[in-house]
Structure 1
Amino acid sequence: MGFSIAIIGMGACGVAAFAEATIRLAAAPIGNVELHLVSREDDLGPGLAFGTDQPGHLLNTESRLMGLYASEPGHFREWVAKRRPLDPGKVEYAPRAEYGEYIRQVLADAYERADRAGIPIHVHRSEAIAIEGNRDAAAIRLRDGTIIDSDYTLLAIGTPRPARFGELEGCLGYFDFPWPARRLREGIGVDQDVIVLGSSLSAIDSFATLMDQGHRGLIHFVSKDGMLPRVEIPAPEETYPRVHFTLSRMRRLIRERGPRFSIVDLFRLFRREAEEAAAAQGERIDWHAENRMDRPALDALPIDIARADARTEIFQRILTSARFEASAMWDLLGPRDRDRFVRWLGPHFATARFTMPMTNACRLAEAAARGQLRVHGGVKDTIWDAERRIFISSLANGDTVCAPVVVNATGTAMTLDEIPDALIVQLADRGWLHPHPSGGVEAHRQTGEVITHDRDAPRLYAVGQLVNGVQRDTNAVWFNVQCAEKAVQDMLIKIAGDAR
């Protein structure tokens, strides 16, 4: 009896899942299992973000956490160290292009492993547009007309561009996504003023693309909260000994007080942790000042750079040390409190958890000092003035920002209805994908298996941004790699059971 597994999307997550499958099948063969790799890109592996050739595009995570093998997070750094000397006492934010080469190498190694073990591999360079059939006989239809029979399908579609600002589509000077970077390089003049929608990591990547080309025009970041990411401490991470903001403390509260664990409880534990950490440094936290919503982001940037350089950035140290428990902490919150977290704490959490490398922070500060970069909060809308051939962003304070170019860098799609991918739309229309209240689709947190109301639906799994509402920390490669491992493990366990 034969079985087939299809991986749809062969970026970093897809490659990690493929590598994990070949390792497990080579070590413990399970009957006749074949693997189908589906990619709309000819160049499997890097994807849009890691396929860039821009020198200013750096990883936002230190190399020690970027390995594509779940049990070897430091594998990427080891790979880099064989190519060029690294200072063991310093952090390394490698160029994204170099990480793309690493992904290609992991992919090549998986191909070779599969070949030695006799595992059939089928590569399809076409877009998956539909899945039909049922639980026992599912078929994936590709845009080129190919039909793939699949017993288990992993949706590893990466970071889909969001279906936002559709009214600007087709307007001269509008770029709906920062990737691929060549579109910005070729389509934006070095003297043009630019509005970048967003002020987080995607916006900073757009900024880097422009600055690498010697951009001279004014660059405006416009976003709802007007906040920049904080700055990563430029040193190897030291484990912070959390006492209060821990999973064990949260579960103890639930056990002793009852099942209700709220966003207020979560923040109280974090606040106590932070205040004690500050006191240990001889400092006191001004919580009012730490609320940066709609405050001048560029005023805080030099402070953040100094804190990171001195290794006294408390929020970052707490949150990064909690990264391996973050998804389980999220799981303790009920739907109402998850919604409150997104609305009340989400932006503040994101700026402290998803930080930028010091190199990027210094580039932003230099551009701001010479008057080339401005950051605006409270954006209400952005429209195209066809008569003046200009885009206008309106702000809550009554000001407007104008430029002939707009780059949509608002980040990845968070909710199911924001994902325009043809396959995801089709699966949602069939009722095989259901929106999670906090974003993405319903799925089991531990395995990534998609939860559907149709018991006869095909066996689907999801990893990455598509399950952000369930797992939350899906911006992190290391976390997605671990989730890919669990999904593959669950599939193979079930296949082994069926093969008996």
Structure 2
Amino acid sequence: MKKIVIIGGGACGSAAFIELIVQICSLGLQKNLSVTLIERRNKIGYGLAFGTKQKSHLLNTQAKLMGIYANEPAHFEEWLKMKDGDKDEVKTGDDLSSAYTSRLLYGHYVSEQLGNYLQKAKEKKVTTEVINDEALDITRQENQKYIIRLKSSNTVTADYVLLAPGTPKPNKFSELRKYTSYIDFPWPSDRIKKGINKTDKVGILGSSLSAVDTVMTLVDNGHEGEIKLFSPIGILPRVQPSKNKSFNRKYLTPENVHKITRTKMRHPRVKELFRLYIRDVEEAEGEKMDWKKLDRTAGPVKEFLEYDIAAAEDGGDSLLNMTYSLRYDASTFWGWLSLDQKQLFKKWLGSHWSANRHAMPLHNAKKLLSLLESGQLKVIPQNRNIKYDEEEQVFKIQTAKGEVAQVKNLINATGTSSSLRGMDNDLVHALADKGYLKPYPAGGAVINPHSMQVISKEAGNNLYAVGHLANGILLDVDAMWFNVRTISRLVNEIIFKVKENGDIS
């Protein structure tokens, strides 16, 4: 019997477990394959992302796309309807399909589905095991089996290993960890609630969705003191409508992009894709646009947010809707770019793409606007350096204008690092040290984007990875709907490989 071990019992690990049980049972492979799930947290199915108890920590994707099953994207929406929706956990427009639920409610959904398939596996006599422990290292033996070393000093042997570690916290600003008033990651949110007094001046590093969640943690728990977001560029996420207006792309299409490769016999370039993007947006607007004015870097945050809220209430503007219309094609285009063009995209357009593609729910945007209007919240762009004044016991952040902002508490909400070494994860570092995970220059590890197999001579042929470890090879690894699709391909690959190797009669 071959053993498949999944490391990580969050949403991605749970989706992989479920898909494996479905495939094993449907193909009658109960005597050939077993599945083990390793999760360091006591509650499986939630992970870090969906275990937060803050009700204002919302999904940034509508319920109709959040199904845990690859070919049933609306399953979460159906589950909500069956549960009759907890109104306190659901922020919605007209119906549940356009709902933005709390992350915890989604965690309940994933955990329930995982529990269902643990029970189904038992009924169908699939050998399964759930281990509550942390994987620290993996060693490939000469017989091609993998030995997984756990924090408890126990070991687990596997024929196939799937890495699903979730979103690791970043190593950035690690030199500040020695100060008790510094919090190196917004999750779990109890660290913020217990470690910060309600009247303290708080600084938050970052201004993306992680930073927005951090603001929500503070204000939902009655924080009264000033909050400052320190951001390299000073751009908030844009605002996602309950229902986007439809957008018909004519120019930035797979056909047109492929035509560039076919006729010019080379990879498409970022400038070529952006020109097609511009043509689509300007045709929708019916006029030429001043694209330099659309650059929000260090701009008037409150004015932009007011505009974004109004646009979201009207179904979104052309720029936002164009970006969201690329949801199913963006990863294809990304795969057609050469490495140097991927790096150029991240440098040139990455922040602007992220602000439009990963917009915040309207519910939270309105709360941010209220905080900006009252003066409790400020966004400070282009911060230069951070120092802790031990005598005054404050953090001092220098800005591009030469000013120095002071805060008592500082929270790192910059989001996880794209590089392997920038991820604060012992297992990732151990595998990188051994060469099992090879760093990909655009981020994450070198992974086959079709099968999700880790590509490394040292790692062998049966190590796989999903989620943030593939952030450079793939593009939408923060989107659950995208991850469950890649997980489906991964499971099919493992089953096919096992069968072709003669391990199944």
Q: TM-score, normalised by structure 2?
A: 0.95
Name the stretch that deviates more: 445-454 or 64-73: 445-454
What amino acid sits opposite 1:252 in the alignment? Answer: K
CA contact (8 A) 1:23 1:113 kept: no
**Mapped pair 1:450 → 2:454:** yes
Deviation at residue 109 of structure 1 after TM alignment: 1.2
The aligned residue for residue 72 of structure 1 is 72
CA contact (8 A) 1:34 1:121 kept: yes
CA contact (8 A) 2:418 2:471 kept: yes
Deviation at residue 29 of structure 1 after TM alignment: 2.3
The aligned residue for residue 38 of structure 2 is 38
| Partner Cα separation in structure 2 for residue 485 and residue 238 of structure 1 | 30
Secondary structure of the corresponding residue to residue 153 of structure 1: strand
Deviation at residue 470 of structure 1 after TM alignment: 0.2
For residues 412-438 of structure 1, the C-alpha deviation after alignment (integer angstroms, 9 at most, x for no partner) is 121111012111111111111100010
Deviation at residue 214 of structure 1 after TM alignment: 1.2
Report the identity percentage: 36
The aligned residue for residue 339 of structure 1 is 343
| Partner Cα separation in structure 1 for residue 222 and residue 371 of structure 2 | 12
**Mapped pair 1:192 → 2:200:** yes
Deviation at residue 285 of structure 1 after TM alignment: 2.7
Structure 2 vs 1, CA of residues 89 and 7 (structure 1 numbering), >3 Å: closer, same or farther?
closer
Secondary structure of the corresponding residue to residue 41 of structure 1: coil
Deviation at residue 457 of structure 1 after TM alignment: 2.9
- Of 158, 171, 175, the residue aligned with 1:167 is 175
Deviation at residue 313 of structure 1 after TM alignment: 1.4
Superposition map of 1:25-174 within 5 A: 25-30=24-29, 31-84=31-84, 87-88=94-95, 91-134=98-141, 136-174=144-182
**Mapped pair 1:245 → 2:261:** no
CA contact (8 A) 1:45 1:103 kept: yes
For residues 28-51 of structure 1, the C-alpha deviation after alignment (integer angstroms, 9 at most, x for no partner) is 023421111001111111112211
Secondary structure of the corresponding residue to residue 416 of structure 1: coil
Deviation at residue 324 of structure 1 after TM alignment: 1.0
Stretches of structure 2 lacking an aligned partner (at least 5 in a row): 86-91
The aligned residue for residue 373 of structure 1 is 377
For residues 116-174 of structure 1, the C-alpha deviation after alignment (integer angstroms, 9 at most, x for no partner) is 22111111111101111336221111111221111111100000001110110120211
- Of 462, 466, 469, the residue aligned with 2:469 is 466
Deviation at residue 296 of structure 1 after TM alignment: 2.4
Superposition map of 1:376-455 within 5 A: 376-454=380-458
Deviation at residue 88 of structure 1 after TM alignment: 3.0
Deviation at residue 402 of structure 1 after TM alignment: 1.0
Higher relative contact order (CA 8 A, sep 6+): 1
CA contact (8 A) 1:151 1:458 kept: no
CA contact (8 A) 1:46 1:101 kept: yes
| Partner Cα separation in structure 2 for residue 243 and residue 34 of structure 1 | 48
The aligned residue for residue 9 of structure 1 is 8
| Partner Cα separation in structure 2 for residue 389 and residue 313 of structure 1 | 45
CA contact (8 A) 1:463 1:484 kept: yes
| Partner Cα separation in structure 1 for residue 487 and residue 301 of structure 2 | 36
What amino acid sits opposite 1:80 in the alignment? Answer: L
Deviation at residue 272 of structure 1 after TM alignment: 0.7
| Count, aligned residues | 494
Name the stretch that deviates more: 238-247 or 408-417: 238-247
Secondary structure of the corresponding residue to residue 330 of structure 1: helix
What amino acid sits opposite 1:157 in the alignment? Answer: P
CA contact (8 A) 2:240 2:316 kept: no
CA contact (8 A) 1:162 1:418 kept: yes
Secondary structure of the corresponding residue to residue 5 of structure 1: strand
Deviation at residue 89 of structure 1 after TM alignment: 7.7
Secondary structure of the corresponding residue to residue 37 of structure 2: strand
Superposition map of 1:253-402 within 5 A: 253-279=260-286, 284-402=288-406
| Partner Cα separation in structure 2 for residue 90 and residue 217 of structure 1 | 37
Deviation at residue 238 of structure 1 after TM alignment: 5.0
Structure 2 vs 1, CA of residues 457 and 185 (structure 1 numbering), >3 Å: closer, same or farther?
same
CA contact (8 A) 2:64 2:97 kept: no
Superposition map of 1:487-498 within 5 A: 487-498=490-501
**Mapped pair 1:205 → 2:213:** yes
CA contact (8 A) 2:245 2:315 kept: no
Structure 2 vs 1, CA of residues 238 and 73 (structure 1 numbering), >3 Å: closer, same or farther?
farther
Name the stretch that deviates more: 342-351 or 413-422: 413-422
Secondary structure of the corresponding residue to residue 50 of structure 1: coil
Deviation at residue 82 of structure 1 after TM alignment: 1.3
What amino acid sits opposite 1:114 in the alignment? Answer: A
Secondary structure of the corresponding residue to residue 204 of structure 2: strand
Secondary structure of the corresponding residue to residue 258 of structure 2: helix
The aligned residue for residue 89 of structure 2 is none
Stretches of structure 1 lacking an aligned partner (at least 5 in a row): none
Secondary structure of the corresponding residue to residue 433 of structure 1: coil
The aligned residue for residue 88 of structure 2 is none
CA contact (8 A) 2:443 2:470 kept: yes
- Of 473, 479, 483, the residue aligned with 1:480 is 483
Structure 2 vs 1, CA of residues 89 and 411 (structure 1 numbering), >3 Å: closer, same or farther?
closer
Name the stretch that deviates more: 263-272 or 317-326: 317-326
Name the stretch that deviates more: 310-319 or 380-389: 310-319
| Partner Cα separation in structure 2 for residue 48 and residue 364 of structure 1 | 24
